[in-house]
Structure 1
Amino acid sequence: MKNLSLGDLIRRPESGAFLGLAFVLVFFVVFGSVEFLKPAGAASWLNVAANLGIVAIPVGLLMISGELDISIGAMIPAGALTVAIISGYYDMPIWIGIIGSLGLGLIVGLINGFLVIRTAVPSLIVTLGTLFAVQGLILGCSVLLTGTTSVALSPAESGAVAKAIFGSFVGGGFQVTIFWWLALTAVYVFYVHFSPFGNWIFAMGGDMVSARNAGIPTDKLTVTLFVLSSVSASFVGMCQAILFNVAQVSAGMTFIFNSIIAVVVGGVLLTGGFGSILGIFLGTITFAIVNQGIYFTTFDRNWSSLIIGVMLLLAVLMNNTFRIMALTYSPKKK
């Protein structure tokens, strides 16, 4: 077996993400309290990472392929309100609400995908349009059907089984979505790094025309990735509604930039063609730790946004530095 050299290691997309994660961990261990690493503290940032990570991976795959989906900001509350209205307001079985929630994600994903492949409009503009369209749709439907923008979904309406699978706490403060996140990450690792599916995505991000000429089903793959993104966002919204027993129209917008930040920190290039599932996974954890870790320090909370911004910028710069080192590295000849 060929031995891995230093150049091989730092050339990996996740190398910078790993160093960024190590940096923020050391920072909060030094400047924070020991509570940061205890179960209650770990739960605070793992819960954030799980919900964000389920969305960040398909968003990252879209970015690797050269596309972008910002409609996830509307799909999360859409998924939550769909299950809440169907099963909470109209008292239908929870599984019908779950199917409706995921079905809405499927429809929006298909719309995004087909608009991108059938028009010359960039995916940023297409998904910006669907972002506002879905926002308006869920707001209007919520007020029209229920008379409010906040719909309750009680534990009794969710049912014990659905509550345990999609919206419960394990071991005290750990959300069950953590297990979904880990399981989905494992599935993505297999399909992206150990099957032709992943090679096709990277080829699309490198050169879409060449990928199409090589026989790669670029249109089908693009639509599939947009469907994965929308369905994942709907799934997160659905889980949050079942967990917190309520769905609100205003939830989800922060996921747009948070997912992009996590993906970029994870080593994915905005220009496409470069990245890894492990890198996105590490980038998501890094963002979650920075986002929650500030509350375990003695720093004034009024400066929290500044500190978070600076630390994330440093993590991205570190990532870029090691990527450049990887591209310029050449082993010395003996």
Structure 2
Amino acid sequence: MADATANAPKDERIKDISSLRKALIRPELGGICGTILVFVLFASIAGDSGMFGTQGIMNWTVVSAQFMVIAVGACLLMIAGEFDLSIGSMIGFSGMLMAVMSVHMGFPMWSAILLTFAICIAIGALNGWLVMRTGLPSFIVTLASLYILRGLTIWGSIFFTRQTIISGVGEKAEGDWLAPIFGGTIFKGLFYWMADQGWVETFTRGNRAGQPVVEGVPMIVVWAIGLVIFGHWLLTRTKHGNWIFASGGDKQAANYVGVPVTRTKIYMFMFAAFCACVFATCQVMEFGSASADRGLLKEFEAIICVVIGGALLTGGYGSVVGAALGAIIFGVVQQGLFFANAESSLFRVFLGVILLVAVVMNTYIRRIITGER
């Protein structure tokens, strides 16, 4: 029976794919290669500058985590076949809204945070509803939201406070039960124990002599890891993940087989808004203030992270893990340029070059998948 099966004629509908091509169509491949490359590069040119010391590692980890938080939401939305260009403006809007409610309206910090999340998620739902209801490209709808939210942020801050930077959030957050979830640190005891063992760097002079240079893991890192795990699980282990892929791959075919395309895409817009609000809340808690210009260009940086991670601009293909690797590449490069004493504007050059390379590679991968020439 086994011999008969082995000698059976090959189904001509099944296309052979070489092992190399199977590896190439993994969405995480570009992110893995890019991550290895930037680590090797900066280990050679900035390895002696403290970049891979305790403080240096924490610096680029935090920056990577910031990119990662918004990249997860952008990734799931792009796989569903849509874009959200209002992510950056949502960051500035939610941070300012939180500060106005807590500092100038007297709301308890926890209620200001929860209300801000509710409003931002509602705006995300509105964006999704408008896209699905009108049939307009999400690029246009969210571009309009970008300008509307940024304008409301600047106008609102001036109207309520006569300034575009609101301080005093840190004082309002003291003793609050919810604020530490976004602005605190964890594993402090572990870092002090490692300092006693001589495993991490410590201060050598002053009142803090003997204490660890890094006293814990910031909550933005915890949120980033948690969102990546959740996004990967949702995408690869649930029926909703299949719906996301189907909605971005072929909307009409997905509708025919019963996939709730409209609901799925609206949920992804809401999740992208949620991620932007997480980013903003962590930033406000870290700095103790809100600024109307925060979040500028973050929407494009999130999209670039996702593209580097292997997602196709046409939807239906991508990986949350790949987007997370793209965020790590960004964090390492941004901090690596600083440690290497290079001009900071080169980071923008890097973004443009790597975006172009990623799009070319992803286009080639799409041709492999679809069999185009």
**Both structures adopt the same fold (TM-score exceeding 0.5):** yes
Match of 1:187 among 222, 226, 230: 230
8 Å CA contact retained: 1:202, 1:274: yes
The CA RMSD measured in Å over matched residues stands at 2.4
How far the C-alpha of 1:72 sits from its partner, in A, is: 0.7
Paired with 1:16 and 1:59, the residues of 2 have a C-alpha distance of: 18
1:234 aligns with 2:249: no
8 Å CA contact retained: 2:101, 2:112: yes
Query: 1:199 and 1:158, CA in 2 relative to 1: closer, same or farther beyond 3 A?
Result: same
Query: 1:306 and 1:215, CA in 2 relative to 1: closer, same or farther beyond 3 A?
Result: closer
Q: Which residue of 2 aligns with 1:140?
A: 155
Q: Which residue of 1 aligns with 2:365?
A: 323
How far the C-alpha of 1:318 sits from its partner, in A, is: 8.5
Query: Which amino acid is 1:27 matched to?
Result: L
Query: 1:289 and 1:302, CA in 2 relative to 1: closer, same or farther beyond 3 A?
Result: closer
Larger deviation: 53-62 or 215-224?
A: 53-62
Identity among equivalent positions (%) equals 32
How far the C-alpha of 1:305 sits from its partner, in A, is: 3.6
Runs (5+) with no aligned partner, structure 2:
1-17, 187-213
Q: Which residue of 1 aligns with 2:29?
A: 15
1:127 aligns with 2:169: no
How far the C-alpha of 1:199 sits from its partner, in A, is: 1.0
**How do residues 64-79 of structure 1 correspond to structure 2 at under 5 angstroms?**
64-79=79-94
Q: Report the 3-state secondary structure (helix = DSSP H, G, I; strand = E; otherwise coil) of the residue aligned with 1:66.
A: coil
Question: Normalization by structure 2: what TM-score?
Answer: 0.81
Q: Which residue of 2 aligns with 1:256?
A: 299
Paired with 2:359 and 2:251, the residues of 1 have a C-alpha distance of: 28
**How do residues 1-334 of structure 1 correspond to structure 2 at under 5 angstroms?**
7-34=21-48, 35-160=50-175, 161-169=177-185, 171-172=214-215, 174-299=217-342, 301=343, 304-305=346-347, 308-309=350-351, 312-313=354-355, 316=358, 319-320=361-362, 323=365, 327=369
From the CA coordinates, give the structure whose radius of gyration is larger.
2
Structure that is richer in helix per residue: 1
Query: 1:70 and 1:173, CA in 2 relative to 1: closer, same or farther beyond 3 A?
Result: farther
Query: 1:322 and 1:14, CA in 2 relative to 1: closer, same or farther beyond 3 A?
Result: farther
Paired with 1:306 and 1:117, the residues of 2 have a C-alpha distance of: 34
Runs (5+) with no aligned partner, structure 1:
330-334
Paired with 2:370 and 2:152, the residues of 1 have a C-alpha distance of: 50
How far the C-alpha of 1:142 sits from its partner, in A, is: 1.6
Q: Structure 1, residues 174-228: CA drift from partner, whole Å, max 9, x if none? A: 4311001101111111111001111111111111111111100001011100011
Q: Report the 3-state secondary structure (helix = DSSP H, G, I; strand = E; otherwise coil) of the residue aligned with 2:51.
A: helix
Q: Structure 1, residues 21-42: CA drift from partner, whole Å, max 9, x if none? A: 1111111111113312222111
How far the C-alpha of 1:315 sits from its partner, in A, is: 6.0
Paired with 2:344 and 2:87, the residues of 1 have a C-alpha distance of: 29
Query: 1:191 and 1:116, CA in 2 relative to 1: closer, same or farther beyond 3 A?
Result: same
How far the C-alpha of 1:316 sits from its partner, in A, is: 2.2
How far the C-alpha of 1:322 sits from its partner, in A, is: 8.0
Paired with 2:353 and 2:57, the residues of 1 have a C-alpha distance of: 19
Query: 1:84 and 1:303, CA in 2 relative to 1: closer, same or farther beyond 3 A?
Result: closer
Query: 1:302 and 1:17, CA in 2 relative to 1: closer, same or farther beyond 3 A?
Result: closer
Question: Normalization by structure 1: what TM-score?
Answer: 0.90
